Structure 1
Amino acid sequence: MTTWRQDDLSVRKCVRHGLSKAHERDSSLSSSSPRGPQHLRFQVLLVWEVWAAVAAMMRLRRPSSLLWAAALTFMFFLYIALPSSAPPEPCLCGQQQHSLPPNALPKTHPLDKHKLALLIPFRDRFEELLEFAPFIHNFLNKQHKNHHIYVINQVDNLRFNRASLLNVGFLESSVDCDYIAMHDVDLLPLNPEVRYQFPEEGPYHVSAPHLHPRYHYPTFIGGILLVRREHFRHVDGLSNKYWGWGLEDDEFYARLKEAKLEIFRPGNLTSGIKDTFRHVHDQRRRRRDMIKCYNQQEVTRHRDRHTGLSTVKYSIQSRKEVTIDGAPITILNAVLECDKVTTPWCDCTESIGNTPRSQLAPSKSEDVIVPRLNRKKHLSHDG
């Protein structure tokens, strides 16, 4: 956008430096700066009218009118010729001005034809959100990524359900966002080479096992995963059976593989496990909900073929648009619903233990979503 400064100082300088240079600029900027040529035409017209009046008065030989014309001419050239009391500036008559008011700044990056919705499952992590939102907003702006942050805040009294919150965020995010990031609030990318590009060929696992500071097993796809909207719908989102902490990402991995969607990961980075991401979760202050009750331990280790994006039940209590240190975010206060017949472990307040294995129905071994892991080999104790 080209604008012209309209203060008196700028007008004086434009006239002093000559109309020819400004006129040369007008031919190329006439479509984007319609007000600039008007100032120049006004100056030219004023000079023309004054001298026409002087010529006419000289022909009429009226001394009083001639004196008025001479006085006007003298005042006009005095206005242009006198130095300004303001500090010297370069002539701005032909330059482009880019100082737009804050509310006129572009909210998207025109070079990025895709738009990313960052879906943040959330509950009682306010301090981490205060750090995460401006950090990731600035990080993505440096990559010129169109994006918007959605914080899906679970406000009911049930156990935390990350998978269902991601399903809610997908349904409630803007339709112009053509891909999503399933993003943990406690994971911050440190290496600028970490890209949040549109996952053209298939899901893109940003926080890959060889880069994540804590989880390193081969089928891990948690932390930060980029998925196209059509792919997320194709696999019916995530299972809604995972109340409490863990395993919902492993079940989603099984869905992606079953749909024959290849998972891509970053390579050739100059950083590794210790310096690619910062994991800000404090286990001493925020203990994870790892309680297992009823038959949860057995059921959640197997593929869910009954629940997902199409079956999630919820309501939005309120929707808030806020800004944290310049980062605009949408907070969705969500109330999840639980089918206690299917998943009674959504509420373990009665401290009921796990159902004995002898009472569980036999299940197919191929439905096991993840084998039991050697924690020393696949898990780090830091982070």
Structure 2
Amino acid sequence: MDNAKGSYHMKKQSILWEMALALSTRLRLRRTSPFLWGLGFCLMCFFFIGLTSFNSGQQQCDCPRSHVLRAEEPRPDLPDAYDFNPSDKHKMAILIPFRDRFEELMEFVPHLHNFLKLQRKNHHIYVINQVDNLRFNRASLLNIGFKESMDSCDYIAMHDVDLLPMNSALIYKYPADGPYHVAAPHLHPRYHYPTFIGGILLVNREHFRQVDGLSNKYWGWGLEDDEFYARLKEAKLTVHRPGNLTTGTKDTFKHIHDRRVRRRDMIKCYNQQEVTRRRDRQTGLSTIRYHIQSRKEMTIEGAPLTILNVILECDRNVTPWCDCTENVGNTKTQRKPENKEDVIVPKLDRKKHISHDG
């Protein structure tokens, strides 16, 4: 390729020189007016300038490629060029449990990608899309996202697709000392109770494995985060939260969920209400059963992401409430929890700890 370019420029130079010599010869052989001599002189100057510009172009092309763009100097102005930042020794997997939230995903992915680029954080977004006919299981999708991403990442962000960080002081740092709750109760637009760890939670690979991930018993909406908090507490892992921010519950995040358009699955059936209010000691990361239907790599406005279309498996002997079409309404039981310490959900004052949807 370089030899071809050199030959091309040599031919250009030869043509220019021949044209200049021919013009000079004709002007010497014939009697010419001062006007023609002036015109000839101008044409000679033009040819000389053209010749030097071709030479300079050849020299510019011969510059080493590393002088044009160095790997250690990432270009933040290019949305799809931020692959690896050597100053960040870790890589984060953003795990998005997902089903039928396309409009929110289109806004979320480029926003978070650009937000993390400004922090120079190595990251990749995984959308774990539940495509079966069972009820939505956020916890199981997070377990799957962890298993499918940990070959290349050493910590995860359990991230709601409808929660966009707006304050640049929210740092998605590697949580070495314990889980880091970005969407803290004093910052989240809706939930404010002290043990809340939903929305956005960062956990490193070792700690997630230590507590065996999340429970797989939570079909439908709610409580899986509270059960996970019980696991962290039992493992003596301290949850850390951001402090000294100038923003609060109304302007730290943008909450783009519209509960009038997408109603949450609040149905309780069989003995779901009794079981899911207690600590799960049977299921978790080690017991998750699923099938990857397909894996898609794509970009949204230049932001790369991986979509995992997954089919969950349900053991109806353990969690018959994965499908409530045949039993709507919680089955009444007389049995009470044997160990009060296993109860994971305290009664909350909704006016104090839960605000309206933002």
- Normalised-by-shorter TM-score class: 0.7 to 0.9
1:98 aligns with 2:69: yes
Amino acid corresponding to residue 83 of structure 1 in structure 2 = I
1:260 counterpart (209, 232, 236): 236
| Alpha-carbon distance in 2 for matches of 1:99, 1:204 | 33
- Seen in structure 2, the aligned counterparts of structure 1 residues 333 and 265 have a Cα distance that, compared at 3 Å, is same
1:215 counterpart (168, 191, 206): 191
Give the secondary structure class of the aligned counterpart of 1:320.
Answer: strand
The alpha-carbon deviation at position 278 of structure 1 amounts to 0.6
Percentage identity across paired residues of the two chains: 69
The alpha-carbon deviation at position 352 of structure 1 amounts to 3.0
Structure 1 alignment gaps of length 5 or more:
12-77
TM-score of the superposition, structure 1-length normalised?
Answer: 0.75
Tell me the equivalent position of 1:232.
208
The alpha-carbon deviation at position 111 of structure 1 amounts to 1.1
- Seen in structure 2, the aligned counterparts of structure 1 residues 370 and 362 have a Cα distance that, compared at 3 Å, is closer
1:373 aligns with 2:329: no
Tell me the equivalent position of 1:326.
302
Tell me the equivalent position of 1:46.
none
Equivalences for residues 233-312 of structure 1 within 5 A: 233-312=209-288
Tell me the equivalent position of 1:137.
113
Amino acid corresponding to residue 339 of structure 2 in structure 1 = K
Tell me the equivalent position of 1:164.
140
Give the secondary structure class of the aligned counterpart of 1:82.
Answer: helix
**1:32-54, Cα deviation, whole Å (9 max, x unpaired):** xxxxxxxxxxxxxxxxxxxxxxx
Residues 171-180 or 262-271, more deviating: 171-180
**1:58-103, Cα deviation, whole Å (9 max, x unpaired):** xxxxxxxxxxxxxxxxxxxx999922497xx999698943399989
Aligned CA RMSD, in angstroms, stands at: 3.0
Structure 2 alignment gaps of length 5 or more:
10-43
Amino acid corresponding to residue 69 of structure 2 in structure 1 = H
1:363 aligns with 2:344: no
- Seen in structure 2, the aligned counterparts of structure 1 residues 205 and 341 have a Cα distance that, compared at 3 Å, is same
- Seen in structure 2, the aligned counterparts of structure 1 residues 381 and 151 have a Cα distance that, compared at 3 Å, is same
Equivalences for residues 146-185 of structure 1 within 5 A: 146-185=122-161
- Seen in structure 2, the aligned counterparts of structure 1 residues 202 and 382 have a Cα distance that, compared at 3 Å, is same
| Alpha-carbon distance in 1 for matches of 2:85, 2:211 | 30
The alpha-carbon deviation at position 104 of structure 1 amounts to 9.9
| Alpha-carbon distance in 2 for matches of 1:287, 1:158 | 16
| Alpha-carbon distance in 2 for matches of 1:349, 1:94 | 69
Give the secondary structure class of the aligned counterpart of 1:83.
Answer: helix
**1:312-334, Cα deviation, whole Å (9 max, x unpaired):** 11110111111111111111111
Amino acid corresponding to residue 48 of structure 2 in structure 1 = L
Give the secondary structure class of the aligned counterpart of 1:152.
Answer: strand
Amino acid corresponding to residue 127 of structure 1 in structure 2 = E
1:347 aligns with 2:318: no
Give the secondary structure class of the aligned counterpart of 1:376.
Answer: helix
The alpha-carbon deviation at position 176 of structure 1 amounts to 2.3
| Alpha-carbon distance in 2 for matches of 1:277, 1:263 | 20
Amino acid corresponding to residue 365 of structure 1 in structure 2 = K
Instruction: Kindly indicate whether the alpha-carbon contact (under 8 Å) linking 2:139 and 2:214 is maintained by their aligned counterparts in 1.
Output: yes
Tell me the equivalent position of 1:204.
180
